[in-house]
A and B are shown apart, each in its own frame.
Chain A
Amino acid sequence: MSEGLLGSEWFRLILGLLIVLAFSQLNALFLVWLERKVAGHLQLRPGPMEVGPHGLLQTIADGVKLVGKELILPFKADRKLFFLAPVMVFMPVLVGFLVLPFSRGLIIRDMNVGVLLVFAFSTITVLAILTGGWASNNKYALLGAVRSVAQNVAYEIPLLLAVLSVVLVVHSLSFAKIVEYQKTVWFIFLQPLAGLIYLIAATAETNRAPFDIPEAESELVAGFHTEYSGMGFGLFFLAEYTNMFIVCAVATSLFFGGWNGLFGISLGIPGVFWFLLKTYFLIFVIMWVRWTFPRVRFDQLMNFSWKVMIPLSLANIVITAIVVKII
């Protein structure tokens, strides 16, 4: 690292933020396209084909359309909160990028509380959804928002417990240290249960099917973003996909060895490539699940969390703690 301006902390941070902004937007656009393609091919159809090669530019066209649309404020809606919510939903997602370990040394800020930071900020998403749903002055939106809060509270617990069992082994909350630890053996092999719980809870955290009950389009029309039009809707949409990327990236770092190759064999491929490969594969899995399963009902979802996932993850932590103590 050179001295002076280039080496300064602030420069690093601003540069990082710019890169994150650009990357997250492009990534979300790509993911939307990918989702459509995955859905299409799973459903015996080609998906978007018209704009650009294989419809690659379709999401850009859609984005332009969304930007050009009028932002409609519903009757008697809370104006300030209504427009604050889409901004609020996007902010924590950006913070998450700051600590993601793309490769060795390719971290904007490697903090010793990185894991904590990501999950702490991801909670704000729920607040944004609640704000948006409440401010819309629409019963469907409110129902969606309330569902979202209940769901996130229920699923954050097993999610964090699953993460905790990894942290217990490594004795650190820093992403870099956790990834280093998995040089030879990924955590998914040491902690298969925690990994599975994390993936399920993460799907629920990001409101993805089969846990997409806050927006359940066949029940609540569009849930919390029923009343949002134009870029208001667009931001919720982008945040959802960026959120998905973060959740999968965290899963990659915590359970799938981050930038490490399988069993320490990296084949000379740069770490960042390994990292992205695994992350996008996990994203693909989540999409695959979405287009295969029907939606669970609200009470079933809560039952599953409180009666199955939380006891299991608690048991997992206890066992992990005992094993760590003995070794």
Chain B
Amino acid sequence: MAELEKIEASDRVYSLNLGPQHPSTHGVLRIVLDLDGEYIIKADPVIGYGHRGHEKMGENRPYKQFLPNTSRMDYLSGMLFNHGFVLAVEKLVGIKVPERAKYIRVIASELNRISSHLLWFGTYLMDLGGFTPFLYAFDDREQILDILDSITGSRLTYSYCRFGGVSRDVDLKFIEMTRAFLKRMEKRWADYDSLVTKNVIFIHRTRDVGVIDRELARQYGVTGPNLRACGVAFDVRRSEPYEVYDRLDFEIPTGTKGDALDRYDVRFKEMQQSCRIIDQALDQLPEGEFLTPKVPQKLGPPKGEVYTAFESARGLTAYYMVSDGSPGPYRCHIRVPSFGNLNALNDVLPGTLVADAISILGSIDVVIPEIDR
């Protein structure tokens, strides 16, 4: 680092505009890099290209009308965001949810988590120059999209959860498809393991690259798989269990160093754990209602505020809503995980190579429209 400071003063430094249109910035992220040769001296992420004002929109309309917005923030884990929002409103208004609906939500959410991680898996490998795993991952993801399509009617931006349940019940065909998917993935994990995880070039590209340690993670509020990669077993599904997560048996995979390889490992194992969760939830799925029939069209929540955290595919996400008693929130704030995750790059990128910057950016798995909101 002392060397870097020396270089900073010289005129060899030039700046490179990485993005907003760049193959590896996953959305519209722009990073202004100050480079010396290929070494990064300073990195300044510029965000906001995808700002749509979701928070303002939330304040302008009733809770119900905001429901479709939620899945459009993090479009890769739309179901999870959708799920989190109904959790928040149900908590605020005090709506009871039938058991069956809880299980259905968990199954759908975990499927969505796997699909989000699979997409990350594919694109990350593509960032590293390996093209083939991308299409393998998309092939698997396609199965999930078909499954979710059969119950929600959409492939990406789901609006499946309702206050007090879900919009449509699952049928036997859905259960069959999901079981078949779980069976298929068992074989696939082994494939991925031998194709990617054991690949020597892959290991060299990720080991000791972009280390986010516990202290740095705490400083920036890094959560999710990126935090767990440095050895902190912090998962909202465990620390503040919602729905039926406390009844399901699953592990929280953690890493040790917090480098890109650990982050890869954690996400990879997380997908397998999600499969376990789905398997158990399918076993335990009770009969009964899937939607509370008595929820009024126009919600009248009490005055006050609600803060509901849940684990999206990228980490701790939370809806913070202040109610003035009217059918819509007075203030609607969304705490998004990628915000902190991307912020940490300010400290991680300097001193690395451009090629590593791409690897790091891919490994922390940011979804820019989620940050921009």
Contacts and interface: CB of A to CB of B under 8 A. Distances in A.
Given A143-B354, A219-B354, A291-B132, A296 B201 contact: yes
Contacts of A212: 129
A291 B129 CA distance: 9
B132 A139 contact: no
A210 interface: yes
A100 to B, nearest CB: 31
Contact of B355 (A140, A210, A219): A219
A43 B195 CA distance: 12
A219 B135 contact: no
A190 interface: no
A199 B32 CA distance: 38
Interface string A291-306: 1111111111000000
A39 interface: yes
A154 interface: no
Given A143-B38, A219-B358, A298 B201 contact: no
A296 B353 CA distance: 12
B23 A217 contact: yes
Interface in B317-373: 353-356, 358
Given A294-B201, A297-B356, A216 B129 contact: yes
Contacts, number: 77
Given A43-B136, A291-B132, A296 B22 contact: no
Interface string A27-43: 00000000000010011
Interface string B277-306: 000000000000000000000000000000
Residue among A209, A218, A292 with max Cβ neighbours from chain B (10 Å):
A218
A295 B131 CA distance: 10
A44 B129 CA distance: 18
A210 B129 contact: yes
B175 interface: no
A325 B134 CA distance: 53
Interface string A276-301: 00000000000000011111111110
Contacts of A299: 353
A294 B14 contact: no
B354 A218 contact: no
B262 interface: no
Contacts of B355: 213, 216, 219, 295, 297-298
Contacts of B241: none
Interface string B170-187: 000000000000000000
Interface in A10-68: 39, 42-45
B128 A295 contact: yes
B95 interface: no
B135 A294 contact: no
B24 A219 contact: yes
Contacts of B250: none
A300 B23 contact: no
A142 to B, nearest CB: 10
Nearest to B14: A139
Interface string B131-148: 110111001000000000
A294 B129 contact: yes
B16 A139 contact: yes
Interface in B190-208: 195, 199, 201-202, 204-205
Nearest to A140: B16
B126 interface: yes
B305 to A, nearest CB: 43
A250 to B, nearest CB: 26
A261 B16 CA distance: 53
Interface string A151-193: 0000000000000000000000000000000000000000000
Q: Give the 8 A-B CB pairs with smallest separation, nearest first.
A: A295-B129, A294-B130, A43-B135, A294-B128, A218-B24, A218-B127, A294-B129, A297-B355
Interface of A: 39, 42-45, 139-140, 143, 209-210, 212-213, 216-221, 291-300
24 contacts: A39-B131, A42-B132, A43-B134, A44-B136, A45-B135, A139-B16, A210-B201, A218-B23, A218-B358, A219-B24, A219-B355, A220-B354, A221-B22, A291-B131, A292-B130, A294-B125, A294-B199, A294-B205, A295-B130, A295-B201, A296-B205, A298-B353, A298-B355, A300-B205
Given A218-B127, A219-B358, A299-B353, 16 more contacts: A42-B132, A43-B134, A43-B136, A139-B16, A143-B354, A210-B129, A210-B201, A216-B355, A218-B358, A292-B195, A294-B125, A295-B130, A296-B204, A297-B205, A297-B355, A298-B353
